Amino acid sequence: MVLLAVILAALGSFLLLRLRADLVAEVDKALDTQAAGILADPDGGLEAMPGVSVAGLRRGETVAQLLSPTGEVRDRAGTAAPARPLVAPVMLRQVLAGQQVRAEVRAGPDGARYRVLGLRRAGRGAPTVLVVAAPLADVDRSVERLRLLLLVAGPIALVLAGGGGWLLARAALRPVGRMTEQAEAIGADRLHDRVSVPDAADELTRLARTLNGMLDRIEHGVVEQRRFVADASHELRTPLAVMRAELEVALRADDPAADASEVLDSTAEEVARMSKIVDDLLTLAHRDENSLELLLAPVDLGEIAAEVAGQLLPLAEEGGVQLVVEAPSVPVVADQARVTQVVTNLVDNAVKYTGAGGSVRVRVWEEASGGALAVTDTGPGIGPEDLPKVFDRFFRLDAARTRARGGSGLGLAICRELVEAHGGRIWAESVPGAGSTFTLTLPAQPPAAIHQPPP
């Protein structure tokens, strides 16, 4: 509104000045005509003033004076024409020097304002000065009227524009207020709530959609996190319950020492299982926090595959599974322990889930961008609906069966995090009933960003 007031004031001032200048120009034009009429007769008196007799000049009309070079009034016309010269001595000198002089002066008994034109009049004798003057009362009245009009209309326009603008802004911002209230009400306990999307195709609609999209992602993340915590607690509770039951039974026995070795064996097994789960959870937590540290060094993917196969050969033989390895030397830069962990997990799964008489094949090859490794088995395979989920945390196809085999459902999730931490990719393909293939690729050199410790 301040800006609008300044603009209106500037516009009003300009209008007033312009109107006054135009009206004064009109007066000047009339003065020019009258002066020309008088000058047409170089020796005549002021009676020659066209359309105006000396006696007929009334108060408030054009007046005229003829001045001697020294400034005495020789002749005058018009009732308001004063006995003293209408022009100051400076102007007189300028006129005598040949200049046409225009000015505004006050004259007459009531000091009214006049527009004056001074001209040199060369007659037979010494040159005289002709001064014609017209009152500016009409001009001043017109300007004053416009000024009053602007003084009344300006504030009204200002109030109307300000009020209209305020109402408009309020109406336009009402949805923002509503969205703000709704967004403020959304907390961890009301994550399914959304802000209402205004019914228009504008920025606010986009903002509301963006907010809702963000809430979708946050809700998804929180739900995942809650499920993860619930799953983790559940996983840890099972071995703890087993241990507790066994310890209680042993302690209640008449001779606890007799069964001690068996109970300790079983307890150690459960502790080992829990340690593995806690290690896995820690690895995932580090990865989630972006603080998983990789000890990068040149390693041979083929060597790792051969070593893992060698370690798991007894397990495969025990389960009647044939284990085949094709592992040429493929150098990559990676964290040896982490890659070994991934390959062990894949081969271990393949051996675990392939029944007796089946086979597992581990293959390593070089690629343009680094190395690749695939573990193919002739096991039961994975259905297409489960295939995208096998890398999810705590996902197990058949929970009871796999837990009995020691699986917690974190193995493949960790594999994916570790491979991705190296800048690689891992995926699964399967034909249900015929077997599965888990493939991973590792870049020859992990991207630079991976070397930097997180901020």
Residues that bind ligand ADP (CB under 6 A): 345, 349-350, 353, 377, 379-380, 382, 390, 395-398, 402, 407-413, 436
Q: How far is the CB of 319 from ligand ADP (least distance, A)?
A: 13
Neighbours of 433 (CB within 10 A): 10
DSSP count for the chain of H helices, then E strands = 10, 12
Q: Which is nearer to ligand ADP, 302 or 411 (CB)?
A: 411
Q: Which is nearer to ligand ADP, 62 or 341 (CB)?
A: 341
Alpha-carbon distance 118 to 139, whole Å? 20
Written as six digits, the tokens of 437 are 């293939």
Q: Which is nearer to ligand ADP, 34 or 430 (CB)?
A: 430
Burial class (CB in 10 A: 0-12, 13-18, 19+), 438: buried
323-357 exposure pattern, b = at least 16 Cβ within 10 A, e = fewer: bebebeebebbbbbebbbbbbbbbbbbbbbbbeee
Q: How far is the CB of 414 from ligand ADP (least distance, A)?
A: 8
Q: Which is nearer to ligand ADP, 283 or 408 (CB)?
A: 408
Nearby residues of 140 by Cβ (< 8 Å), 6 or more positions away? 113
Alpha-carbon distance 323 to 318, whole Å? 11
Q: How far is the CB of 334 from ligand ADP (least distance, A)?
A: 20
Q: Which is nearer to ligand ADP, 65 or 345 (CB)?
A: 345
Q: Which is nearer to ligand ADP, 280 or 300 (CB)?
A: 280
SS3 content of the chain, % helix, strand, coil (to 5): 55, 20, 30
Written as six digits, the tokens of 307 are 């070593």
Q: Which is nearer to ligand ADP, 35 or 412 (CB)?
A: 412
> How far from the centroid of its chain's Cα atoms is residue 104's Cα?
61
> How far from the centroid of its chain's Cα atoms is residue 184's Cα?
20
Q: How far is the CB of 264 from ligand ADP (least distance, A)?
A: 25
User: What amino acid is encoded at 249 in this protein?
Assistant: V
Q: How far is the CB of 254 from ligand ADP (least distance, A)?
A: 39
CA atoms within 13 A on the CB side of 173: 7
Of 81, 14, 75, 9, the C-alpha closest to 48 is 75
Q: How does DSSP assign 129-175, residue by residue?
A: EEEEEEE-HHHHHHHHHHHHHHHHHHHHHHHHHHHHHHHHHHHHHHH
User: Which residue's C-beta sits nearest to ligand ADP?
Assistant: 407
Q: Which is nearer to ligand ADP, 132 or 374 (CB)?
A: 374
Q: Which is nearer to ligand ADP, 195 or 321 (CB)?
A: 321
